[in-house]
Chains A and B, each alone.
Chain A
Amino acid sequence: MLNDLLNKIIKKSAGRLRYILAMFGLGIALMLILAAIQLQVNYNQLLHGNNVQDSIANFLVVNKIVNDETRGKTQLNDNEIDDLKKQPFIDAVGVVTPSRFKVSANGGTNLPFYTDLFFESVHDNFLDVHSDDWKWDDNSQFIPIVIPNMFLDLYNFGFASSQNLPQLSQDLIKNIPIQLSIQTPLGAKNFYAKIVGFSDRISSILVPQTFMDWANKNFATEAPKGASRIVIRTKDPSNPQLTDYLQTHHLSTDTDKTRFSKYRKVVAFVVRISWFTGVAMLVFALLVFSLFIELTIASSKEEIKLLITLGSSPKQLKRFMMKQLFPLNIVIMFLVLIILSLLQFVLYKFLGTQSMEINPYISWITILSAAIVLFVLWLVHIRTIARQINE
């Protein structure tokens, strides 16, 4: 009853259109802010979700870019490797050691082929091949070798079919004995070798580190030349910081794995724009609200004065004004959350068809943010009203 009377006394007609526009603006502002938050949550989920965490994504082989300036000097020195190790986005650095001796291989009597070879080695922690045969010491019967999976594909699907040669399975290749001939200062030395695995990660011909160290020590014909390449382990290959670092240090890596970082920059950019626009609009909406409140109270100044004279308490008037002005904010917030939930569900369905999985519901972070924004709105309302009434 009191509120009905107050409603008649305190006119809100002043600037009603402006108020509606401000409410509309508030809706858009809330939409942008909460959408930015939800988008970020979705993106993080995609980025760190289980389905993305496959093993190759976390290892990157890094080397210097070969161009006219760097030709012949692409080794990484200790300082450069130390600097890489210091970067927060790199968990571990594995040095790829090149062989410093000449080696050739042939298939012996079974398989008539001959080729010059090179070897590289890397610490086992950085290798994606796990084989019982992957070990070497002085007493070993053969030297285990890992070749890139890509080599076999090249042969099977390119070379073999065009030259009318038989295609080879991985198991078959593992059974081919290979004769290695290493050039030493004291003449050629022969070893047996076997291919024990195929790497998707490192495109090189790899031997165990123990063999590499031993062979380099005993057969080296050149001085040590530093690391040819390195393998880094990172939690997040698409981290834009990582790609930026590599770029500024003229390093290159498998772009397929870092390509995501470009999308990520775009997403971050969109999120940031949406966020800033949303916050700016929210600030303007808040400004319009406080002006509207001031206008309403100013245009009913005489009435409010008389109400106070007759004994209305400031508390009653504040409560009345809040009741008049604030519920619409809650309604709009709910509308925005409902729209956002619908959009999220649509996005979930859509990304599902692209075999990307996000949560079908909006995240609690979004809802918490909504509550915080609502609290800010409430604070602005109550403070403006209190200030105006107390005047």
Chain B
Amino acid sequence: MQITLNNIIPIPLKENLSKRPSDVWHSNITFEPEKIVKIKAPSGTGKTTLIHYIYKLRSDYEGNILWDNKNIQQIKGDELAANRQQNISVIFQDLRLFENLTARENIELNRVLQKPFYESGKIDEMAERLGVSHILNQRAGICSYGEQQRIAIIRALIQPFSLLIMDEPFSHLDNNNSYKAAALISEECSRRNAGMVLTDLDEDDYFNYTIKLNL
């Protein structure tokens, strides 16, 4: 999977963004497997908006976004779902768990949406590594943000993908837990030869970034 941005600019932020320099807006960028891209952005510069654009949750932009050379405006319904099941995995800034399901069920759902990539035992293994084994059977709604974020990370890693998109994936984690999570993410990506796109507010050294961009 390869994602190409062709000259895109968010329509609502057009006025503001065109006044400041950016490596992303109004540029041509490609995200592809095995490349680790860091996008650094101050608050309010459209970081989450960008993530939503490339995952096709929003489309209020000018320019084109391509998934494997196909304009995502033309990708709909079952084809869209197939891409999200097989090619693109995502960790949202706002986590987006089902509050009424247990932590395990949230992860399990993403495991069985498609032909499972991992056996269900892998959930326990990953939870163990991130230190959330004890809350697996707890309702996600009553888990702390830190726990929820780790559940969201495991959920993203349990499915097949060739590109992992992360929107401030460690915002609720302390340093120690962040490094543990980053190590797990790195492993899973190299196992799949997958690429990464990570957005964050500041500089960091969680991964060996191949490209660093300022939004």
User: Using a CB–CB distance below 8 Å, which chain A residues touch chain B?
Assistant: 1-2, 5, 8-9, 303, 306, 308-316, 390
Contact = CB atoms under 8 A, between A and B. Distances in A.
Contacts of B109: 2, 5, 9, 310
Nearest to A314: B77
Given A1-B108, A5-B108, A311 B100 contact: no
Which of A2, A9, A311, A314 has most chain B Cβ within 10 Å?
A311
B114 A311 contact: yes
B57 A303 contact: no
Contact of B85 (A303, A313, A390): A313
Interface string B120-147: 0000000000000000000000000000
Contact of B84 (A9, A310, A314): A310
B67 to A, nearest CB: 14
A313 B101 CA distance: 20
B81 A313 contact: yes
Interface string B62-104: 0000000000000001101110110000000000101011000
A9 B81 contact: no
A313 B77 contact: yes
Contact of B98 (A303, A313, A314): A303
A123 to B, nearest CB: 76
B100 A316 contact: no
Contact of B78 (A8, A9, A306, A315): A315
Between B98, B109, B112, B114, the greatest number of chain A beta carbons within 10 A of the residue's beta carbon is seen for: B109
8 contacts: A2-B109, A5-B108, A8-B105, A309-B84, A310-B109, A310-B113, A311-B110, A316-B81
B199 interface: no
Contacts of B78: 313-315
A309 B81 contact: no
Nearest to B120: A1
Nearest to A1: B112
A313 B78 CA distance: 5
B159 interface: yes
A303 B57 CA distance: 15
Contacts of B57: 309
A69 B60 CA distance: 90
**Secondary structure of the A side of the interface?**
helix
A27 to B, nearest CB: 33
A87 B163 CA distance: 81
B102 to A, nearest CB: 9
A390 B81 CA distance: 13
A306 B112 contact: no
A312 B81 contact: yes
A2 B78 CA distance: 17
Contact of A311 (B85, B98, B101, B108): B85
Contacts of A314: 77-78, 81
A316 B101 contact: no
Contacts of B82: 313
A206 to B, nearest CB: 83
Nearest to A313: B81
A303 B99 CA distance: 10
Contacts of B84: 309-311
Contact of A310 (B77, B100, B110): B110
A376 B36 CA distance: 53
A2 B111 CA distance: 9
Contacts of A316: 81, 113
A95 to B, nearest CB: 76
Nearest to B97: A306
B140 to A, nearest CB: 12
Contacts of B77: 313-315, 390
Nearest to B98: A9
Contacts of B55: 309
A91 B152 CA distance: 83
B101 A9 contact: yes
Contacts of A5: 101, 105, 108-109, 112
A313 B82 CA distance: 7
Nearest to A4: B105
Contacts of A303: 98
A308 B98 contact: no
> Interface centre among B57, B82, B105, B113, by most A CB within 10 Å?
B113
Give the 8 A-B residue pairs with the shortest CB-CB distance, closest first: A313-B81, A311-B84, A311-B85, A313-B78, A2-B112, A5-B109, A1-B112, A314-B77
A5 B98 CA distance: 10
Most chain B beta-carbon neighbours within 10 Å: one of A309, A310, A314 = A310
Nearest to B56: A309
A310 to B, nearest CB: 6
Contacts of B110: 310-311
A309 B97 CA distance: 11
Contacts of A390: 77
Interface string B153-177: 0000001000000000000000000
A316 to B, nearest CB: 7
A211 B197 CA distance: 114
Interface in B13-53: none
A312 B113 contact: yes
B77 to A, nearest CB: 5
Given A309-B96, A310-B84, A313-B82, A8 B114 contact: no
